[in-house]
Amino acid sequence: MTITHSREYAQKLDMEDSLASFRREFYVQENSIYFDGNSLGLLSKRAEQAALDLLAMWKQEGIGGWTGGEHPWFYLSEKLGTQMAPLLGARPEEVVVTGSTTVNLHQLAGTFYKPSGRKTKILADSLTFPSDIYALKSQIRLKGLDPDEHLVQVKSSDGHTIDEEKIIEAMTDEVALIVLPSVLYRSCQLLDIKRLTKEAHKRGIVIGFDLCHSIGSLPHELSDWGVDFAFWCTYKHLNSGPGGVGALYVNEKHFGAEPGLAGWFSSHKDRQFDMKHTLTPAEDAGAFQIGTPHVLSTAPLLGSLPIFEEAGIENIRRKSLKLTRFLMELVDQELHSYGFHIRNPLEDERRGGHIYLEHPEAARICRALKEAGIVPDFRSPKGIRLAPVALYNTFTEVWDCVQALKDIMEKETYKKFKNERGVVA
């Protein structure tokens, strides 16, 4: 049966939304609809204040800020890891805020990729974010091996999703390490982390996940699932700001492992300033830090993470699914005759926090949307990602976005733009 939704229905959903008050926490621009929070989250007022507070601390305390004040910088990475751990279903000591996504992947692959005998290969997929593949190829080369031979990428049959059965089939006795995304960045397919971890461990393979597109939008149970390691950025759903510091998770069963890339902040806190040339690693995830924390880059998290504690990640996930389901229903209702195709999974349990539309004119349609005050995300060659974020987007915005798309297609206003991406898409 065809579902027909009205703007009044969208407004009713907003009235019933238990998370509606959190929208006031963020700087939402008037006459604009921001659906790109899966690339860069909006600034919250608390994150802004936290950054200003840390600047003031530097201004007032100078070097004393490393050990004094409300948030001593020397312990800040671990403190934020403790705050972030509930979003991951992790123990506080298993999480540390440090580095960047790719730096942390290099650290973790450098630690856990130990090719020997027949087990020399890394297993990944063909749809993951390019940076992960660059890092994995680098790690293989550092071991004196050829990435063309020792990196296995499970292929997609449709160009959008990965069959988990194919991933499991590829877990042969030649695989030493597996690195997969939790959510595919294009199609928003959510992989079954628990199942894939169990299958990897049956075969004696270490497995880790890139959580960039799932952290802050859905709950995880990394410790209970036995995931070996994970890494992620914080500037998407966690709203830490452009280039915000990354984070990583290491299961406690690996505590004591020598970090593959040791550095100053790999040290045990009590021994770090002994200044010896023999490293005494931290006894928790802190051992997998490398350099000095990016204090000013971590500051916004002090403001943004408490919002997630108050809202509740289960509530965020519930609303996120409702928003994307509503968006898909409206696409079917209003845009079915304009050549749009939904390429993300339709089932809630297989979908992350955005939807992925394909259209041959996607690049110019995205430009037309921006002209109309709507911020989407274009992915070459013909993808449009739309991410209504539970903490600051509304059902009425979803309705208005689809109506704007319909108007753009009916009036063909997209044709005044070139069908090509900008320097940054």
Domain count, the chain: 2
Residue 360 pLDDT exceeds 80? yes
Q: Do 249 and 231 touch, CB atoms closer than 8 A?
A: yes
Average pLDDT of the chain?
Answer: 96
Determine, yes or no, domain membership for 42.
no
199 and 121 inside one domain: yes
Which neighbouring-strand residues pair with 141? none
Q: What is the mean pLDDT of residues 85-106?
A: 98
DSSP string, 188-233: -BBP-HHHHHHHHHHTT-EEEEE-TTTTTTS---HHHHT--EEEE-
Determine, yes or no, domain membership for 389.
yes
pLDDT value for 419: 85
pLDDT value for 1: 40
265 and 288 inside one domain: yes
Helix (H) or strand (E) holding 63, with range, is none
376 annotated as belonging to a binding site for a ligand: no
82 annotated as belonging to a binding site for a ligand: no
For residue 41, report the phi and psi dihedrals to the nearest 5 degrees: -70, 160
User: With a threshold of 0.95, does the pTM exceed it?
Assistant: yes
281 annotated as belonging to a binding site for a ligand: no
Determine, yes or no, domain membership for 423.
no
102 annotated as belonging to a binding site for a ligand: yes
130 annotated as belonging to a binding site for a ligand: yes
Determine, yes or no, domain membership for 79.
yes
129 annotated as belonging to a binding site for a ligand: yes
Determine, yes or no, domain membership for 2.
no
Residue 275 pLDDT exceeds 90? yes
131 annotated as belonging to a binding site for a ligand: yes
Residue 258 pLDDT exceeds 70? yes
CATH number at residue 375: 3.90.1150.10
Q: Which of 253, 286, 310 is the last residue of a domain?
A: 310
377 and 354 inside one domain: yes
209 annotated as belonging to a binding site for a ligand: no
Over residues 178-236, the pLDDT tens digits come to 999 999 999 999 999 999 999 999 999 999 999 999 999 999 999 999 999 999 999 99
For residue 306, report the phi and psi dihedrals to the nearest 5 degrees: -60, -25
237 and 321 inside one domain: no
Determine, yes or no, domain membership for 410.
yes
**Comparing C-alpha atoms, which of 292, 122, 301, 100 is closest to residue 212?**
100
Residue 3 banded pLDDT, cuts 50, 70, 90: low
Determine, yes or no, domain membership for 41.
no
210 annotated as belonging to a binding site for a ligand: yes
Over residues 218-233, the pLDDT tens digits come to 999 999 999 999 999 9
Residue 276 banded pLDDT, cuts 50, 70, 90: very high
157 and 67 inside one domain: yes
pLDDT value for 315: 98
Q: Which of 260, 295, 310 is the last residue of a domain?
A: 310
Q: Look up tokens 């860069």; give the residue.
A: 40
264 annotated as belonging to a binding site for a ligand: yes
409 and 322 inside one domain: yes
Q: Which of 288, 310, 332 is the last residue of a domain?
A: 310
Over residues 125-175, the pLDDT tens digits come to 999 999 999 999 999 999 999 999 999 999 999 999 999 999 999 999 999
300 and 318 inside one domain: no
CATH number at residue 115: 3.40.640.10
134 and 177 inside one domain: yes
**Comparing C-alpha atoms, which of 302, 234, 261, 316 is closest to residue 105?**
261
User: How many distinct helices (H) and strands (E) make up the chain?
Assistant: 13, 13
306 and 317 inside one domain: no
pLDDT value for 420: 83
305 and 319 inside one domain: no
**Comparing C-alpha atoms, which of 183, 234, 213, 185 is closest to residue 44?**
234
Residue 4 banded pLDDT, cuts 50, 70, 90: confident
Determine, yes or no, domain membership for 38.
no
Identity of residue 339: G
71 and 94 inside one domain: yes
> Which structural domain range is residue 317 located in?
7-31+313-416
184 and 276 inside one domain: yes
Residue 52 banded pLDDT, cuts 50, 70, 90: very high
Q: What is the mean pLDDT of residues 57-68?
A: 96
Measured CA distances, 116 to 83, 133, 137, 208, 354 (Å): 38, 21, 17, 19, 40
